[in-house]
Amino acid sequence: MKILILRTFASVLNPNNYNSQEIGLARAFIRAGHRCDIVYYNASDATRTQTVETPGSDTPVTIYWMKGYSVYKNAIFPGLKKVIEQYDVLQVAEYDQLTSWWLYCHYGTKKPVFLYHGPYGSDFTKGYNLKCKVFDTFFNRPGKNRAVTAFAKSRMAAEFLHAKGFEKVIPVGVGLDTDTLKAPYEPNARPAAAAREGFELLYIGVLEERRNIRFLFEVLAKAAEQVPGLRLTLVGKGEEAYRDACFAYAKELGVWDRIEYIERVPQSEVHALYKRANLFVLPTRYEIFGMVILEAMYFGQPVLTSLNGGSDLLVEHGRTGYVCEGFDAEEYAAHIAALAADPALQVSMGEAAHERIERHFVWDEIAPKMLAEYEKVL
């Protein structure tokens, strides 16, 4: 089978990103015995090709860096037809991208076109909600959508697509490309962390309103009342005004001396933070799919997070971590205190978290689910 994955956003991707989703999935398809290549947007630069090796196979991934135009952040590729004619199956990104829509809604009568979608509506995504409202008014055709098989990155995304007229939607999540990780999983890391004095929380991500940093500090203050040796390692950049306001709030709450702030950690060193910490915390207000949750769990970290697109598939509440539906600092603090008091639970949760990612959320486990649907249509 010859498969083409199309990233239809009008943004130039860095293919050296440690977890490029298209490359990770393409490699898994190739290891399963198929050919798979990728279309990436190349802005106004001339179209060119690039090959990327596939660990475990002699067949590389070919990337078509295609010249295109940006129409309200939608990539339009003038030379696309000549490329897609070479493939048996097309997989496109996001229901509301114009090129994706043209392919799954119109070109799908010529060859199978599958959708892989991540975003969903929320009170925090007003811009995206407005974009979808405009798109639905002028382009969306629920009658035609019923014939399209769609893969969703979360259950929330699946519900979102159902509301747009897609009837066959399969939540598959997002995979981790373990070949790109800078260190392996170490089973002994979690017992060692649980045996150390104190209790360390870890946050990695952009410091921004969406990620709820002020609330994270409130959680730290509440939990510190029950866990005397509690500390937070905070990793990430943010806009100066928001970052400084958050740090001032931490001082106001009396927890600044419990925080170790690191603006940036090289990807080659991040694994050491996962191994050292006791619990990964991400009280985000919105997440398409929390790749940082995926990575933390792979390295054996129990996770404490909000209900979001990612945690709704990844985290088994009480077994691999905790998912809080609201933003109650006392609820978060209670989970931290319970885990801090039970080193054996830290170990069992960490082991279960790693096992869950290994079994369900590496690309070599997700690819067969997609291939089964391709084969049904072919």
pLDDT score, position 364: 97
pLDDT average, residue stretch 351-375:
97
What sign for the dihedral angle of Cα 234, 237, 242, 245?
positive
Q: Is pLDDT above 70 for 170?
A: yes
pLDDT average, residue stretch 195-213:
96
pLDDT in tens, 240-251: 999 999 999 999
Q: Report the 3 state secondary structure along 315-374.
A: CCECCCEEEECCCCHHHHHHHHHHHHCCHHHHHHHHHHHHHHHHHHCEHHHHHHHHHHHH
pLDDT score, position 267: 84
Cross-strand partners of 362: 176
Q: Is pLDDT above 70 for 276?
A: yes
Dihedral angle of Cα 287, 289, 291, 293, to the nearest 10 degrees: 70
Q: Is pLDDT above 80 for 38?
A: yes
Indicate the pLDDT class of residue 13, thresholds 50, 70 and 90.
Answer: confident
pLDDT in tens, 292-313: 999 999 999 999 999 999 999 9
Q: Is pLDDT above 80 for 194?
A: yes
Percent of the chain topping pLDDT 90? 91
Topology annotation, domain 2-177+362-377: Rossmann fold (3.40.50)
Q: Is pLDDT above 70 for 24?
A: yes
Q: What is the distance between the alpha carbons of residues 74 and 204, in angstroms, rounded to a whole number? A: 30
Q: What DSSP state is assigned to residue 220? A: H
> Of 353, 367, 368, which Cα lies nearest the Cα of 295?
353
Q: CB of 116 within 8 A of CB of 369? A: no
pLDDT score, position 180: 86
pLDDT average, residue stretch 166-186:
93
What sign for the dihedral angle of Cα 142, 144, 146, 152?
negative
Q: Is pLDDT above 80 for 15?
A: no
Q: Is pLDDT above 80 for 120?
A: yes
Q: What is the distance between the alpha carbons of residues 104 and 318, in angstroms, rounded to a whole number? A: 39
Q: Is pLDDT above 80 for 315?
A: yes
Q: Is pLDDT above 70 for 17?
A: no
pLDDT score, position 201: 98
Cross-strand partners of 282: 305
Q: CB of 267 within 8 A of CB of 188? A: no
Q: Is pLDDT above 90 for 282?
A: yes
Q: Is pLDDT above 70 for 18?
A: no
For the chain, what are the domain ranges?
A: 2-177+362-377, 179-360
Q: Do domains 2-177+362-377 and 179-360 have the same CATH topology?
A: yes
Q: CB of 222 within 8 A of CB of 332? A: yes
pLDDT average, residue stretch 143-167:
96
pLDDT average, residue stretch 212-231:
97
Indicate the pLDDT class of residue 268, thresholds 50, 70 and 90.
Answer: confident
Percent of the chain topping pLDDT 70? 99
Structure tokens that stand for 12 in this block: 């130039």
Topology annotation, domain 179-360: Rossmann fold (3.40.50)
Q: What is the distance between the alpha carbons of residues 139 and 54, in angstroms, rounded to a whole number? A: 38
pLDDT score, position 181: 87
Q: What is the distance between the alpha carbons of residues 18 and 16, in angstroms, rounded to a whole number? A: 6
